Amino acid sequence: MGYFRQNIEKAKGYEPGFQPSQTDLVKLNTNENSYPPSPQVLKVLGQINAEQLRRYPDPTGNEFQQAAAEVHGVSADYIMCCNGGDELLTIALRAFCDENRPVAYPVPTYSLYPVLANLQNCRAIEVPFDSEFNLPPKLAGAGAALTIVCNPNAPSGTFIGVDEMASLADELSGVLLIDEAYVDFAEENCVSLVKDFDNVIILRSMSKGYSLAGMRFGYAIAQPPLLAGLIKVKDSYNVDAVAIAVAAAAIKDRRYFEENVEKLKKDRESLTEQLRALKFEVPRSYANFVLAKSKNCKASVIYDKLVQRNIYVRYFDLSGLSDKLRITVGTSEENDKLISALKEILAGKEASYGRENRQDS
């Protein structure tokens, strides 16, 4: 057609996980929280009125800013609301990167990063993790304007310690964005670094720990001068009035959040143990998913056979990941169905299936 910029014309685009329309299935492929959001969320939704919908929302999402600031022990001007964590990534690439200012990140990691780099027409410096997903020493010397570290990492679920991240921030001449979308399921986080480093941005999501994936709400935590530059780039009303009210209600309900997270952690440990008993290699996860490698069957074959049973996990036909499956931690019932199916598949009771149904690779 010739209408698009050359990099857009050639871009493949991000491929989200398959979202099936039917309900009679086990959906463990897109890392949604398996438990419902806080009852306070539903209460707030029921109180939304026509006036809130008629008017533009608060451009800064002040209600949420105040609530999040209290949770994280910072002032409200350290918080910037976003339309999901992905919007913050887009804003950061637009604000810091161009043809002469590259982005760097360890790989394998969240597959949206290279897509956004391509759209921004900036060079992406991909620094390989080692087999244990340790922070690559070469990352600090990449000379990038923006360095992104997903921590806990997706899709490995591994975690890099706060001291290591602090050392990285200190070495960098550019900005360090720590993508903590899954950190609610870890034992520690890097929020404290924003007080010590003026080049650190923390990304947080309400999709995972707070069960609000359908609402699309995330936020940045950083020193106000850094956020001031990002605010220039964001849309004028980037989060809607309903999302602000719902997200504020969710983050205020600390008791429900903590109970929800603890349930999921227990489910994660149980699932990990059961997978290891089936001879899967499963590194310790600090997220709400696990990365599993079978010693006895190809990941692509297992994926296809699970699809035949209406059980969906995530398969990436990518370097370093093609022999593994990323499995969202489900409820106990969902995890039991998965394990039962895997036992059948690994016992060789099923005929081999083709690859035509792989809809989210």
**Do residues 17 and 68 share a domain?**
no
The pLDDT value recorded for residue 357 is: 40
With respect to residue 272, please indicate whether it lies within any of the assigned structural domains: yes
pLDDT of 2 reads 78
- Tell whether 45 and 175 lie within a shared domain: yes
Give yes or no for residue 356 having a pLDDT over 60: no
| Tokens (6 digits) for 195 | 């007080």
Q: Are 312 and 25 in contact (CB under 8 A)?
A: yes
Tell me if 361 is assigned to some domain.
Answer: no
Task: Report residue 312: phi and psi, to 5°.
Answer: -115, 125
Residues 238 and 294 in one domain: no
Q: How many domains does the chain have?
A: 2
193-202 pLDDT, tens digit each: 999 999 999 9
Residue-level pLDDT at 231: 97
Q: pLDDT higher for 18 or 339?
A: 339
Cis peptide before 152 (omega within 30 of 0): yes
CB-count burial class (<10 Å; 0-12, 13-18, 19+) for 242: middle
What pLDDT band is residue 18 in, cutting at 50, 70 and 90? Answer: low
Q: Which of 228, 252, 276 is the last residue of a domain?
A: 252
Contact residues for 144 (Cβ-Cβ < 8 A; gap 6+)? 101, 102, 103, 104, 125, 172, 174
Q: Are residues 163 and 45 in the same domain?
A: yes
Choose one of 252, 280, 315: the last residue of a domain. 252
Tokens matching residue 160: 């890099």
The whole-angstrom separation of Cα 272 and Cα 283 is: 9
Strand-strand pairing, 311-312 and 218-221: unpaired
CA pair distance 19, 360, nearest whole angstrom? 9
Pair (99, 185) in one structural domain? yes
Percent share of the chain, pLDDT over 70? 94
**Model confidence at 15: pLDDT above 80:** no
- Are residues 160 and 267 located together in one domain of the fold? no
Burial of residue 254 (number of CB atoms within 10 Å: 0-12, 13-18, 19+): exposed
Please state, rounded to an integer, the average pLDDT across all residues of the chain: 93
pLDDT 10s digits, 287-325: 999 999 998 899 999 999 999 999 999 999 888 889 999
Asked if 316 and 203 sit in the same domain, the reply is no
352: pLDDT strictly greater than 90: no
**112 membership: H or E segment, kind and range:** helix 112-120
The structure's pTM equals 0.92
Residues 177 and 107 in one domain: yes
Whether residues 44 and 186 fall in one domain: yes
Residue 128, pLDDT score:
96
Domain range spanning residue 231?
A: 39-252
| CATH code (residue 135) | 3.40.640.10
Of 252, 286, 306, the residue that ends a domain is 252
For residue 355, being part of any structural domain is answered with: no
Please classify residue 246 by burial: count the beta carbons closer than 10 Å to its beta carbon, then call 0-12 exposed, 13-18 middle and 19+ buried.
Answer: buried
Lowest mean pLDDT, pick from 11-20, 124-133, 234-243: 11-20
pLDDT at 361 > cutoff 60: no
Residues 241 and 264 in one domain: no
